[in-house]
Amino acid sequence: MTKEQALERAIWLREEIIRNSKLYYEQDAPQISDYDYDMMFKELTSIEEEFPEIRTPDSPTGRVGGKALDKFDKFTHNVRMGSLTDVFSYEELSAFTDRMSDALGNDVEYSVEPKIDGLSVALIYRNGIFVQGATRGDGEVGEDVTENLRTVRSIPLKLNEPLPYLCVRGEVYMSKKVFEELNAAREQAGMPLFANPRNAAAGSLRQLDPKIAASRRLDILVFNLQEGSLYQDGRACLTHSESLDRLDELGFTTVTNRIVAQSYGEVRDHIAYLGASRDSLAFDMDGAVVKINKLSERVAVGEGTSTPKWAVAYKYPPEERETKLLSIDIQVGRTGVLTPTANLSPVRLAGTTVSRATLHNAQFISDRDIRIGDTVVVRKAGEIIPEIVRAVTSSRDGTEQIFSMPDLCPSCGSPVVRDECGEGAATRCVNPACPAQTSRSITHFASKGAMDIDGLGPQVVELLLSAGKIRDIADLYTLRTEDIEGLDRMGKKSAENLISAIETSKSRGLERLLYALGVRQVGEVAAEEIARRFRTINALFGATAEDYLSVKDIGEITATALVEFFADPSVRELCDRLLSLGVSGEAVSEERGVLFEGMTFVLTGTLPTMTRDEASDLIKANGGKVSGSVSKKTTYVVAGDEAGSKLTKARELGIKVIDENELLSMLGK
């Protein structure tokens, strides 16, 4: 095939692939078989590989992902990608529309549309061709994720008209269906699950390998014109709704279920309608956006310090659903605590299907008079953890059963005891050989905050235990590749990767090891403070309660737990085995600096070059404290890409907000 023939064939293939892709993905009306589509795609890929000079930026072959990147470049937005003021009640919403009426008169038009729970991005087109895309970041500076955005099939690589320049804003999301399929596959592979579709979308779009992003089947809804003209003659749109209609004509998929409202009553009614329709939407939404529709009136109203005065985001209250409590299981934790877990009739809640919820302990169940067979109200705490709010006692028919904790451990059959010390009233199995505790102890040992053994999730731990390959955590360091390959879903490559991860974990240091051992009351922060003070694990075996009490933030209960733990001969034997197998028992952290002494930092969003763990380590190494929530005691909030509610609260409280560069500058880096 000559170059001219290749060019002619490639042009035809691109047009056919794009046409059939729209029929399949947008209109659900395919005209050719999947096989024929795949063959055209394969032929175009082959031609472009043979003649790379004829490949165009809008070629559909870009959808599958190109070469992996080392990092994302910074991208400065020409037009700030701001956030909106949140309102949480119809009273606050009414106050907003009253202000607009006072400023503009009584005939104000509002655009009311869903607030998609995803990741905000800017898309740039030149001469109708998609050339660049970036995340919102802090609104001023984001990250260039162009190659990953090319893989999002609902982003047009070529517009229906060759407009000279256009920048639009949209929300990248993962559909509920794709999210559930992704999590099901991850669960089967023993991988950690994504908490919700938004987290999954954000993680997918920030993959350095575009092929991974392509496999996640992301979508986008465009909701704003940022910059440029939507018409060939350069004229401007007069309203927001006109701009969205025009974006539809150009080939974008714009935000759905939107209306133009003429009054507060119409605004409120559509917000209520959207709230009632949440389950039927393909995407998650966390509110509704209300904007002045006429663009000239937006200019008249103006901008606030950090948010526009002409728009608000109405946030729905936490979603609650009624469902049936079918039964209660008992889970045995790594410290032997028995935790009751509710099995529910599956119900859709805040973006996921919920079929289980924690019941905490017997006191929690008793205080709320929750019974097996009850109709219960369920919600998600912090949009992540399912919890039972209350029982609907008016729905009882007399068949409901009062629950009581078992007298014997459901895992090993040993008698359980009531433990009133340290963790509050709890029912505990005290058998150190309890299989459930062994499994969860090993899983905890391998977890990210502990020894961080990648690939050693709960299912793999169960495989190794049931096959007799390990009995305790020390046995992990005796494993060989041939011990693992051949187990269910574990090939040679998986086995080699796991052995490599186990080997790497040997050098994590005393900080991680102490937390990984699972001493009651000792979390990551306490483990780090203890490691800084004692430096070696051998020093812990001779330490007294008074020695531990000299460590920052260690109280009497934790000190007692440490003394009891390291007085156990089996712990000494286990630690000696770990050290003999090459696991480091020495602290890796240096003595703490004093630069940030007395300061409290909160980290939010995704930082450009560091993980939040790395930034946290830097802060703590210089004497600072890292907190998970913003309060008046917070000194600085370090905000990265897609910072959320913590950033909003910091601004409300007047807390100084800095970025990664400012943090590093404070450190002289």
Supply the residues annotated as catalytic: 115
What is the spatial distance between Cα 169 and Cα 201, in angstroms, rounded to a whole number?
A: 16
Which is nearest to 615 in space by CA: 669, 662, 663, 655? 663
Contacts of 499 (CB under 8 A, 6+ apart): 479, 480, 481, 484
**Cα 579–583–584 angle (5° rounding)?**
90
DSSP 160-229: SS--SEEEEEEEEE--HHHHHHHHHHHHHTTPPPPSSHHHHHHHHHT-SSHHHHHHT--EEEEEEEEEE-
Q: Please state, in angstroms and rounded to a whole number, the distance separating the CA atoms of residues 417 and 410.
A: 13
φ, ψ (nearest 5 deg) of residue 384: -125, -55
User: Which letter, b or e, does each residue of 626-663 get, where b requires 16 or more Cβ atoms within 10 Å of its Cβ?
Assistant: bbeebeeebebbbbbbbbeebbbbbbeeebebebbeeb
How far is Cα 537 from Cα 413, in angstroms, rounded to an integer?
34
Tell me how far apart the alpha carbons of residues 434 and 409 are, in angstroms, rounded to a whole number. Answer: 9
The single-letter code of the amino acid at 173 is Y
Residue 560 phi, psi dihedral angles, 5° rounding? -65, -45
Percent helix, strand, coil in the chain, to 5, is 40, 25, 40
CB-CB contact of 209 with 126 (8 Å): no
Q: Tell me which H or E stretch contains 367.
A: helix 362-367
Quick one: residue 15, left, alpha or beta (phi over 0 = left, psi -120 to 50 = alpha)?
alpha
Computed on alpha carbons and rounded to an integer, the radius of gyration of the chain in Å comes to 29
Q: Pick from 202, 199, 220: which is nearest to 382 by CA?
A: 199
Q: Among residues 596, 594, 615, which one has the least CA distance to residue 606?
A: 615
* Angle, CA of 109, 110 and 114, to the nearest 5°: 160
Measuring CA to CA, which residue among 264, 257, 261 is closest to residue 278?
257
| Interatomic CA distance for residues 460 and 456, integer angstroms | 6
Using CA atoms of 188, 191, 194, 195 in order, give the dihedral in degrees to the nearest 10: 90
What is the rounded distance in angstroms from the CA atom of residue 524 to the CA atom of residue 511? Answer: 8
CB 313 within 8 A of CB 223: no
Tokens 């609907």: give the residue.
392
Residue-by-residue DSSP string for 279-318: GGSSS-EEEEEEEESBHHHHHHH-B-SSSBTTEEEEEPPP
Reference 200, options 176, 223, 222, 220; nearest CA is 176
